[in-house]
Amino acid sequence: MALNPIVHHEKDYEAIHNILSADHRKNVRALGDTVQKSITNHRHEIERVKAFYDFDKSFGHKVVAGVDEVGRGPLAGPIVAAAVILPEDSEDLILRINDSKKLSKELREELSEIIKEKAVSYSIAMKTSDEIDEKGIGFCNNEIFKEAIDGLSIVPDLVLSDGYTIKEFAYRNEAVIKGDTKSAAIACASIIAKVYRDNLMEKFGKVYPEYNFDKNVGYGTKEHIEAILNHGSCEIHRESFLRNILEK
Q: Any idea what DSSP says for residue 72?
A: S
Distance CA 154, CA 144 (A): 17
The predicted structure's pLDDT at residue 104: 95
Distance CA 198, CA 194 (A): 6
Distance CA 101, CA 71 (A): 12
Distance CA 75, CA 212 (A): 13
Question: From first to last of its 248 residues, what are the pLDDT tens digits of the chain?
Answer: 454 443 345 555 666 656 656 656 767 566 655 656 667 788 889 999 999 999 999 999 999 999 999 999 999 999 999 999 999 877 789 999 999 999 999 999 999 999 999 999 999 999 999 999 999 999 999 999 999 999 999 999 999 999 999 999 999 999 999 999 999 999 999 999 999 999 999 999 999 999 999 999 999 999 999 999 999 999 999 999 998 887 75
Which residues, 6 or more positions from 58, have their beta carbon under 8 angstroms from its beta carbon?
none
Distance, C-alpha 130 to centroid of its chain: 25
Q: In angstroms, how far is the first alpha carbon of the chain from the final one?
A: 52
Distance CA 182, CA 107 (A): 19
pTM metric for this prediction = 0.86
The number of beta carbons lying within 10 Å of the beta carbon of residue 203 is 10
Residue at 57: amino acid letter: K
Which residues, 6 or more positions from 83, have their beta carbon under 8 angstroms from its beta carbon?
65, 66, 67, 122, 123, 125, 145, 148, 149, 151, 152, 159, 189
Note whether 169 and 197 are within 8 A (CB).
Answer: no
